[in-house]
Amino acid sequence: MATTWNTKYGTRRVRHDPPTLKEAIAAAQGLSDELHDQIEIAAGLMDLPVEEVRAEVLKSAPARGSARILASSGREGAPRSVIVERKVSRRMVRPASSVNQ
């Protein structure tokens, strides 16, 4: 579909805002725990070379198991924020001897 079309209510346009590199990295970190996979995902989202994205991912690699919050200003003066939280699952591991008793 074209980026501009006419409707009975007037002309409509599609706004295309590609993600920023920080937003792509935050999305990749939410999708994968592996650093190599995060780099490939972010590079694919941004259509950038892997080497360029690798440097930014390594700079923004947070400590494992912590919640991450990324806030960025939006385009054209509109504030926009992205919040990604990760909670480590708590699994109870019982000794094998107590399960069968």
| Number of structural domains in the chain | 1
Position 91 in a domain: no
Boundaries of domain holding 30: 17-84
Q: How confident is the model over 7-44, as pLDDT tens digits?
A: 999 999 888 777 789 889 888 888 988 889 999 999 99
Query: Does a structural domain hold residue 44?
Result: yes
3-state SS, the chain, equals CCCEEEECCEEEECCCCCCCHHHHHHHHHHHCCCHHHHHHHHHHHHCCCHHHHHHHHHHCCCCCCCCEEEEECCHHHCCEEEEECCCCCCCCCCCHHHHCC
Statement: residue 1 has pLDDT above 60: no
In a domain, 35, yes or no: yes
pLDDT digits (tens, 9 = 90+) for 53-100: 998 888 876 555 555 555 555 566 666 666 767 666 667 667 666 555
Position 101 in a domain = no
96 occurs within a structural domain: no
At residue 70, the pLDDT reads 55
Domain membership of residue 41 (yes or no) is yes
pTM over 0.85: no
With respect to residue 30, please indicate whether it lies within any of the assigned structural domains.
yes
Note whether residue 5 is domain-resident. Answer: no
